[in-house]
Structure 1
Amino acid sequence: MDFRALMYFVQVADAGSITRASVNLRIAQPALTRQIHRLEQDLGSRLLIRESRGVKLTDAGRRLYDHATRILRDVERACDDIKGLAGSPIGRVVLGIPPTLCPVLTPPLFEKLRAEQPRIELKIAENFSSGLRDWLSEGRVDLAVMTGPVQGRKFGFEPLFDEEMVLVTTPGTVAAGKAVDADALASLPLVLSDGLRAHVDKFLEPFGKKATVMTSINAVETMRLMAERGLGATVLPRSVLRGEPQTGIVDLTRIGENGLYRNVIVSWLAARHLSITVQAVLDTICRVAETLRSRGIFALADRQRHRAKTTSRGNAAHRLHPDDAAP
């Protein structure tokens, strides 16, 4: 199998069009078409279906695409690793991250890498935790920030922080100065994503309660806006709302006496050697996370002067580790 033909095939699949791929690759369309035909002949399977608006993958094409992306990425990793031995880390690292944490972690991570490791190219891929685990297994991402824990020995990981999940309501919806208990939470009409609903359900289950879900929305900003306008309460990670308390538009309330937390980790495929470049990004992620954690953006605190309702009874936290992270 010709390596270049494999690369061309991935480019065509990503572009969804031979014409667009030829422009991206800066090669003539007939030459690109010949490479794809030769690949199909070598494999004895049709890989692409030509349509009026482009191409789509056949079943064989989808299987080859999965293999090809892993192969090409492994080759790229190998080249970057060897080049890094001769100097500072160099190359591309693909980081998977949940949508809720992307706005929090990505800007300071890019800033620090640009200052300390300018030869590293960081690519961000958003997904929920279950999807990120699949991407790690398939080699589509090098590292993933996601909800822990991970099961078995398939993945290596480093803990980053515990993040508090808080109730978001219009001011005055719940009693001031008190945490919301299971009865009160179950009685509120909620706007929740699928992942956040798993957190709430696990919190309510020991009390024999179920969440009153008014609607399910997998869009954090929409959930926040609906709570702000009084269309329903919601539950969101604390860091998503780091600027909200100062506005006075919403109240943030602790869930349960000791808070409801999710454990956030950075993980990688244990069987894959971490290159110098990936290790540099991993170390930077850990340092950035520690800086943010020390600033208190991942949990409510009684000493903070904002409208969030908190209590500080007890030290034990109610930590949940669902398979899916909140979006």
Structure 2
Amino acid sequence: MQSIGISDGLSMDRLNYQHLFYFWNVAREGSVTRASEKLRLAQPTISGQLAVFEDAIGAQLLRKEGRKLTLTEKGRTVYHYADEIFALGRELTNTLKGHAGAMGMRLSVGIADALPKLIVYRLIEPALNQEQQTQIVCHEDKVERLLAELTLHGVDLVLADTPATTAIGGRVFNHLLGECGVAVFSAPQLAARYCENFPNSLEGAPFLFPTPATALRRSLDLWFEQRRIAPAVRAEIEDSALLKTFAAAGAGLFVAPVAVTEAIERQYGVVNIGELDGVTESFYAITLRRKVDHPAITTILENARDWLVTP
């Protein structure tokens, strides 16, 4: 077997895949206890084998934070390789059972948690429907952490509402997918009250806003300030799907991209009150290379520009 250089300055002549398997399960479960229950092994066995593996690697792979184990930077690198290794193992098993090519191509996508879920699905959908079968793996997190994963080859692509800056990720490239306007939505029982004299009717209206750290929230705050309209902030909700769930129950108004108006109205039972003139939301695909050579990413880029407006 060829040597695998996982630790700086260390060349491993032989990788113990059993130890790698134990580590992979502990990382996935977040604790030795849950991993041992899943594998039906004693906790001391898992802990001992994990310690042996870290000694062989020459680096700490997991650290304790409260009651949970989290990956170190080196641990994330090893984990992502392990994920690929065991995914290939499952594919081999399927092939031997007569299901050749069951997994097809694989695409790991990092999704900024501020992005509307319906927009994310519409961006990724063409990759699911292309002729060559593609297995999509989605990871949702803060942009900064996703960019760190991108540079470590933990994900192939990051979808975000802001471009990566030099300070955040100097080795990555931004691909502007496009932008679209936003509209105000509400449950039907609130709509009649705010449709008339829109957008002045939004003065004092109960609003469900995204959190202040998002690009959309900054645009909204500026828009309301310029028009001297002061909505009542009922809640600030980070997860866009949870925000819409609150709104569907009549908790307040919210804004969302007009490009998915029909899907939002159908899924959440809300109605479009009106568009906010001048407010847009932008969407970016961030990759390690300027030239994209992954067929699924190329499909995502090409199709996005068919329905998003390019500034």
In the superposition, the TM-score normalised over structure 2's length comes to: 0.65
Please state if 1:233 is matched with 2:250: no
Structure 1 residue 287, shift from structure 2 partner: 3.4
Contact 2:175–2:285 under 8 Å retained in 1: yes
Which runs of no fewer than 5 residues in structure 2 stay unpaired?
Answer: 1-11, 88-100
Contact 2:172–2:286 under 8 Å retained in 1: yes
User: Which secondary structure state, in structure 1, belongs to the residue aligned with residue 72 of structure 2?
Assistant: helix
Contact 2:123–2:304 under 8 Å retained in 1: no
Structure 1 residue 115, shift from structure 2 partner: 4.3
1:203 counterpart (202, 219, 223)? 223
Determine the C-alpha separation between the residues in 2 that align with 1:166 and 1:56. 41
Contact 1:105–1:288 under 8 Å retained in 2: no
1:13 counterpart (27, 32, 35)? 27
Please state if 1:103 is matched with 2:118: yes
Structure 1 residue 253, shift from structure 2 partner: 1.0
Determine the C-alpha separation between the residues in 2 that align with 1:267 and 1:71. 21
Q: Which amino acid aligns with 2:275?
A: R
Q: Deviations over 1:230-249 (max 9, x none)?
A: 43222222345424558985
Which runs of no fewer than 5 residues in structure 1 stay unpaired?
Answer: 78-86, 300-316, 320-327
Structure 1 counterpart of 2:174: 157
Determine the C-alpha separation between the residues in 2 that align with 1:186 and 1:138. 47
Q: Which amino acid aligns with 1:202?
A: L
Determine the C-alpha separation between the residues in 1 that align with 2:117 and 2:249. 25
Q: Which amino acid aligns with 2:194?
A: V
Structure 1 residue 280, shift from structure 2 partner: 0.6
Structure 2 counterpart of 1:255: 276
Q: Which amino acid aligns with 1:66?
A: R
Does 159-168 or 35-44 show the bigger shift?
A: 35-44
Q: Which amino acid aligns with 1:168?
A: F
User: Which secondary structure state, in structure 2, belongs to the residue aligned with residue 173 of structure 1?
Assistant: helix
Map 1:131-150; keep pairs closer than 5 Å: 131-150=145-164
- CA RMSD after TM alignment: 4.5
Structure 1 residue 24, shift from structure 2 partner: 6.5
Map 1:45-84; keep pairs closer than 5 Å: 47=62, 56-57=68-69, 62-69=72-79, 72=82
Say which structure, 1 or 2, has more relative contact order (CA 8 Å, 6+ apart): 1
Structure 1 counterpart of 2:106: 92
- Residues 248, 148 of structure 1: alpha-carbon distance in 2 compared, 3 angstrom cutoff: closer
Structure 1 residue 103, shift from structure 2 partner: 3.4
Q: Which amino acid aligns with 1:284?
A: T
Contact 2:60–2:72 under 8 Å retained in 1: no
Q: Deviations over 1:15-54 (max 9, x none)?
A: 23446546867999877554313134444869577x9xxx
- Residues 209, 133 of structure 1: alpha-carbon distance in 2 compared, 3 angstrom cutoff: farther
- Number of aligned residue pairs: 272
Determine the C-alpha separation between the residues in 2 that align with 1:157 and 1:46. 31
Q: Deviations over 1:107-151 (max 9, x none)?
A: 784565454112x32211223545533443443321012113332
Determine the C-alpha separation between the residues in 1 that align with 2:46 and 2:221. 52
Identity rate, percent? 22
Structure 2 counterpart of 1:310: none
Determine the C-alpha separation between the residues in 2 that align with 1:173 and 1:18. 55
Structure 1 residue 95, shift from structure 2 partner: 0.8
- Residues 218, 240 of structure 1: alpha-carbon distance in 2 compared, 3 angstrom cutoff: farther
